[in-house]
Chains A and B, each alone.
Chain A
Amino acid sequence: DQQVKQNSPSLSVQEGRISILNCDYTNSMFDYFLWYKKYPAEGPTFLISISSIKDKNEDGRFTVFLNKSAKHLSLHIVPSQPGDSAVYFCAASKGNSGGYQKVTFGTGTKLQVIP
């Protein structure tokens, strides 16, 4: 049961344009969402997060939007740069339960930014 879904396995965008990566989730108990970026042969690195009490969080070129009613979130990268080419994982969590936070990841979207 894939509770966090990234239906687009890949995306190509021209440098300077906007990249939009989408993510859907099925578990309404999720209350915290994260995006990770992963380069080949490296571990994922945290990019940006959003709590369910917000619908938008911005950090420089990266903005995450959350639509709770649709159980959908998206990551916008503006402007896209060649160094943004990587696999992006969406992740969701149900929050703190006895000191352990279970984070459920999607399958990832491979972004290619074309110079």
Chain B
Amino acid sequence: SQTIHQWPATLVQPVGSPLSLECTVEGTSNPNLYWYRQAAGRGLQLLFYSVGIGQISSEVPQNLSASRPQDRQFILSSKKLLLSDSGFYLCAWSAGSQKLFFGSGTQLSVL
């Protein structure tokens, strides 16, 4: 069966520090991978998606970047965090359908 792992579960970082969140998927090949963010009181906003290794598309301009160094690995990064980067970050995968499978999320607090 397919599983998705996302870590860490919580993270507190100072403004201006770097960020690296990692997500891995098991039990499937060539998944579509996604990074979503849920800010306080808001819905799930799509940040990045990837349909293959090295292929990254950004939905909104922002202070973040994403990379997909391996088929089932998706990384969300920032060189310098802003206060506005705080939120609940979710990695997800799909296998060619609209049904997304989400990881457990990372609660990021930038202070």
Contact of A32 among B42, B44, B98, B102 (CB under 8 A): B98
Contact of A107 among B43, B94, B105 (CB under 8 A): B43
Please give the distance in Å from A31's CB to the nearest CB on chain B.
Answer: 9
Among A14-22, A60-68, A69-77, A96-104, the stretch that binds chain B is A96-104
Q: Is the CB of B43 within 8 A of A4?
A: yes
Contact of B94 among A49, A89, A95, A101 (CB under 8 A): A101
Interface range on chain B (Cβ under 8 Å from partner): 20 to 34
Report the tally of A-B residue pairs with Cβ distances under 8 A: 64
Given A4-B43, A100-B49, A101-B32, residue A43 in contact with residue B102 (CB < 8 A): yes
Nearest 5 CB-CB pairs, A to B? Answer: A43-B102, A105-B44, A107-B43, A93-B98, A101-B98
Known: A32-B98, A41-B105, A95-B98. 18 other contacts (CB 8 A): A41-B104, A42-B105, A43-B90, A43-B102, A43-B104, A44-B44, A89-B44, A93-B98, A96-B96, A99-B96, A101-B97, A102-B46, A102-B59, A103-B46, A103-B98, A104-B46, A105-B36, A107-B42
Binding site for A on B (CB under 8 A): 6, 9, 32, 36, 41-46, 49, 51, 57, 59, 90, 92, 94, 96-105, 107
